[in-house]
Each structure stands twice: as structure tokens, then as C-alpha cells.
Amino acid sequence: MTIGGPRGWHPRLQMPCLRKMERMIVSMQDPDMGIKMRNQRLLITVIPHAMTGNDIVEWLIQKYGISEEEALHLGNLIVKHGYIYPLRDPRSLVLRADESPYRFQTPYFWTSTKWPATELDYAIYLAKKNIRKQGDLIEHEKDNYNLLHKRINHTWDFVVMQAREQLRAAKQRRRGDRIVIDCQEQAYWLVNRPPPGVPNVLEQGPERRNCHTTRVQLTKNMDYYKREIEYCRKAMARTRVKSSICLEGYIKFNEQYVPHDPIMSGCLPSNPWITDDTTYWAMNAPTVTTPTKLRVERWGFNFSELIMDPLGRAQLLEFLKKEFSGGLQGYTPSHEALDVAHEGVQCHDPLSSIVSPSPAENLSFWEACEELRYGEQSRIAEIVDSIYQQFLAPGATRWVNIDSKTMERTLEGIKTPHRYVMDDAQMHIYMLMKKDSYPRFLKSDLYKNLLAEAIIPPETKKRVFPFMRKQRHSSPSPALLLPAGDAEERSRSPSTAPVPEEES
């Protein structure tokens, strides 16, 4: 994790949230619509242009129409980033929704303005504190002070001189102003040099755009523009669909699937994450004897749902086998199947080339092609050959019927086998199953029986005493469970052993 980022990194650019916060702050100070400021009493001093924590929260609620919890959360973040600071208890950047007084940070001390926070400035700040408190600094500040003293020893005289000068100038100010400036400065340093245990809000995670030399360069030469032009031409030629039709599509999809969405519609018998009862998972395991009703219904949504569910696929296979063994006499291909089969049919007996010798083999062929597409690189030639021998070779035992054009292309491609060589054939067979076998499956007795016998699990009886919920607790970190021989891991995380907590 980097603090600050590489050269050229500026928070206003890379943290759009800061700019937005600044805009919020400005509108908070709007004379008409902003927060009503007044004088706040701090012990014996009166500080002008201040507001209470409550004012801030109320204003956020009004302005953005959010709840009190959210307003408090948002206000807290604004304070954490140093845009508003507390007058009472200035060492802790926390927003309290009560009468505690707060003030807006001067833009001079905004993180995005006074960037970066240099070591020199920090040294001067600590030196001032050291002088004022006569050496009695807080622990981490003392450590930092000593560290800096060592690191920039060569300019230490300058540091002390500056510190003394600033303190002298401060003495000439009114007490109220002095307190304010001290608070402002302290808030700035709390954000830029957070004390241990307080998360650093300026941390941005791994550096982005950090190194141009390791970037794969896209040189904008002639080839680049030629590719751009090609891409634009292709893109302009594509058919687009009206947005309204797309949205209608979402609505339809939503209507179909919402009853199946456990978060939206609940799940029967109960959601295991809430009740700790895992029956739901047992009933919906990949292979069960009797599937649930919702699951069987889902197979009717589209072909993909059926074929992607291992249970569904098994049922489809059974159906296809039954059809075949039930006799070809009973098998009349649908119009779609006829169209598909007619593509590129040669002039021999039309009937023999239309009737698929075995629809069940289509599914096996499709599965074999999937294995090729997602399989290991080293086995490609082997798998291609196996597919050819089983499904495509003349006289193959599990011959699948592909139109001759596709067959020609595929056989040609097999000579130089690669991962996608079966794509055309696979698509052809997939479409055949989708347009022919699938609709018949849905109308079949097999499917109707599955629907009838499918289970609708009863809802788990509600506990009699619902408030006696099981105690929730967190699991310990897996780091604790590592075998003893792992010296590497141990050495890196010696003191971060987490403790399991109780949480209700």
C-alpha cells in the first residue's frame, strides 16, 4: 500500500471523492442554504463561525434526503478527511451528533491544497509542540520527532528556528485565533500523519498508472489508426436494438427469475445463512434423486438452463435415449430440424440424411467439444482425434449428423488441430438440440412427470422463542491454522494474531 503515491500523483486528480467533498463543504458554507453558524463557547473563550455536530448531521439529512445513520456516517468521513475539525477533543477526528462544536478547515490546510505533507513541515510542527510542551509529547509523536531529528539532522537548526519564529508570531494573536489555528494545524497532521491504530484515509491501495515503462505500449502509428478505422466500420455496421426493447427484456427476465432468487423471494425450507439449517443445500445438490419444483421449472426457461444443470442434462440424455429406442417410426423431425438438416444436403436419399441416427449422441458430441474448448493445451491433438474417431469419421460408432458444408470445414480444420476447431460443428449440433430436442423434451411425459414429482419443501417452522438466536461468532484467522513448519509465514505476521470475537 502506498501513502501519497508516485511523483506526479496528486490527490485531487486521483481521488475524485476529495473534489466532491470540497464541493459539499462549500455548499455547507453557503450563506443562504448552508449551515447556520454561531459563536461557540469553549471553556472561557468564544470561537466564532462554529457549528455543532448536530447542525452538520441535520443539514446533511435535509440536503440529501438520507437517514440519520447515513448522515452521521458521511459527516464522520468528512471529519476524518480533515475538512471539518472538532474544537473540543481535537485529537480525535470524530463527528458527534450532539452539541460538540466543530469548524470548517481553512482551505489552506485542505489535504488537496497543502500537498504533499513534507517531512520538513512535520518536523517544524513537532518541534513547536515540543517547545510548547517542554518535551512532553505523546508517545508516537515523540518517536516521530526523534526519527526526524536523525533523518534531517543537517537542517535541524533551520527547523528549530522556524518553530521558534512561528511560536513567537502566534503569541501576538488573540487567544481565540490561536486556539483555532492550533486546531487547524493539528487536524491537518492527524490526517497526513495518523497516529498508530488510526487507519490512513489517504491510502489508495496498489499504485495505478505507476510505471509507463512496464506498460504494453499502444504506439499510435498507421497500423493503430487502420485498426481503429476497421473497428469503427464494423461497429457502425452492427445491428442495434432499441433501448426500450432491451429494458423490456430485463423486465421479462426479472419476472421469470425473481421467484428463484433467494434474496428476493426467500428460499424453502429456509435460507441456511439465517437459520443454520442446511437442508436447502442438501435438496439442491448437483445430483439428487428428486429435484425441487423450482429447479425443474427452471429447466423450462431456456435450453442453457437445462444443459448446464448436471441433473437436467442427465434427464435430457435419458429422454433422448428413450426416443431413439422407442423406434424411429415415432420420430418425426420438427420443421426446424428439417431446415437445419437441409442445409448443404447432397443429392442422395433425403430421408436417411434428415433423420438423426441417434439424438443422444448429439449431447455426447457437444460435451466432448466442451472438453476440447476448455481443456488442457497439451491434450488438444489427442481430444480432437478422439472426437473425430467417435463422432465424425465415416462409419463412426456414434456418428452425428452435421450438414456437409460444416463437415467439410471441420475435417479440413482437423488437419491442424486447435482449441476452436470444432466450434462450427458444436454450434450446429447445439442449435439442433435447442430447436428440436429441447421443445420435445418440454412436451414429453418424462418432463411432465418430473414436474409432478418435484418437491416443494415446507417452510421451516419458526422458532417459538425467536429472540433466542444462535450466538454468531467469527471464525479465527486461517493464519493460525497453518502447519508449524511454515517459518516464512510465521516470521511475517508474528503479532497480528487475531482473536475470535463474539458478536450478537
Partner 1 sequence: MATEGLHENETLASLKSEAESLKGKLEEERAKLHDVEQENADPPMKFLMSVDTVESGLDNKCSVYPLTFEKNENMAAKKKSVAMHTNYLSACSFTNSDMQILTASGDGTCALWDVESGQLLQSFHGHGADVLCLDLAPSETGNTFVSGGCDKKAMVWDMRSGQCIQSFETHDSDINSVRYYPSGDAFASGSDDATCRLYDLRADREVAIYSKESIIFGASSVDFSLSGRLLFAGYNDYTINVWDVLKGSRVSILFGHENRVSTLRVSPDGTAFCSGSWDHTLRDGFCRFFGRHGSEAADQSSTIGNAIMAAAAGIGMAGLAFLLVR
Strand partners, 502: 473
Task: Label residues 445-470 b or e (16+ Cβ within 10 Å = b).
Answer: ebbeebeeeeeebeeeeeeeeeeeee
CB closer to partner 1, 439 vs 498:
498
CB closer to partner 1, 343 vs 486:
486
Cell numbers standing for residue 89: 477533543
Residue labelled with grid coordinates 440424455: 317
Closest approach, Cβ 5 to partner 1, in A, equals 13
- Residue 443 has a CB neighbour count (10 Å cut-off) of 10
CB closer to partner 1, 14 vs 54:
14
CB closer to partner 1, 97 vs 131:
97
Closest approach, Cβ 362 to partner 1, in A, equals 15
Q: Rounded to whole angstroms, how far apart are CA atoms 323 and 363? A: 14
Strand partners, 287: none
CB closer to partner 1, 250 vs 465:
250
Closest approach, Cβ 96 to partner 1, in A, equals 17
Closest approach, Cβ 220 to partner 1, in A, equals 8
- Pick the closest to residue 79 from 204, 230, 191, 233 (CA basis): 191
- Pick the closest to residue 187 from 114, 274, 270, 84 (CA basis): 84
CB closer to partner 1, 46 vs 232:
232
Closest approach, Cβ 385 to partner 1, in A, equals 18
- Pick the closest to residue 187 from 127, 107, 71, 119 (CA basis): 107
Closest approach, Cβ 501 to partner 1, in A, equals 7
The helix/strand/coil state of 18 is helix
CB closer to partner 1, 118 vs 254:
254
Closest approach, Cβ 90 to partner 1, in A, equals 22
User: Residue 342, Cα to own-chain centre: how many angstroms?
Assistant: 47
- Residue 271 has a CB neighbour count (10 Å cut-off) of 15
